[in-house]
Amino acid sequence: MAQDSNIVKSTLNCKCPKCHEGDLFLNTKTYQFKNFLEIHDNCKACDQDFQIEAGFYLGAMFVSYALTVAICVAVFVAFITFNAYSLIPYLIATGISLTLLTPYTLRLSRSIWITFSVRYDPNAIKKYAAQNKNK
Ligand SMILES: [Zn+2]
C-alpha cells in the first residue's frame, strides 16, 4: 500500500510521523476516555520509537497552550464577525469550546510535538518489512 505523504493529514489523524500509517495512540477514538492519551511504544507499521526519551511529551504542553489560545482567538473572531461580542457570552462560549475540544487538543498537541522530531520516510514500511524478512 502506498504511503500518504500529506504531513498535515497524518498529524491531524494522529498517525506515525515517519510512515503516516501506524496509529500513535492505543485508543483510536478521541472521546472514548479510557487510555485516550496512551501512546504505543513503537509504530506497528514501521517500528518507529514513540517513546523517544523520558518526558519527551512534556514539550507538547507548549503546543497545547498554543492550540488553546488559537481556540480562544477563533471564538473571539467569531463573536466579532457576527457583531455579537459581549464578555459573559464570550467567556461561556470559550469555556464550552475548550471543554469539548480538550481531548482532541491534548492528542493533537502530542501528535504535532512528535512530528517536529521525526522526519517522514516514504520507504519506512518497506525498510521495516525487508529488515524483518532477513531475520
Ligand atoms: Zn510508522
Ligand 1 centre from 76 Cα, in Å?
38
Give the closest residue to 40 by CA, choosing from 133, 116, 107.
107
Ligand 1 centre from 49 Cα, in Å?
9
Region label for 47, one of left (φ > 0), alpha (ψ between -120 and 50) or beta (otherwise): left
Indicate the residue type of 63.
V
- What pLDDT, on a 0 to 100 scale, did the predictor assign at position 33? 83
- Say whether pTM exceeds 0.85: yes
Whether 4 shows a pLDDT value over 90: the answer reads: no
- Give percent of the chain above pLDDT 90: 84
Ligand 1 centre from 1 Cα, in Å?
13
Domain positions in the chain: 7-134
Whether 1 shows a pLDDT value over 60: the answer reads: no
Contact criterion met (CB below 8 Å) for 10 and 4:
yes
Q: For the chain, give the mean pLDDT.
A: 93
Whether 2 shows a pLDDT value over 70: the answer reads: no
pLDDT, tens digit (0-9, with 9 covering 90-100), for 31-69:
988 888 999 999 999 999 999 999 999 999 999 999 999
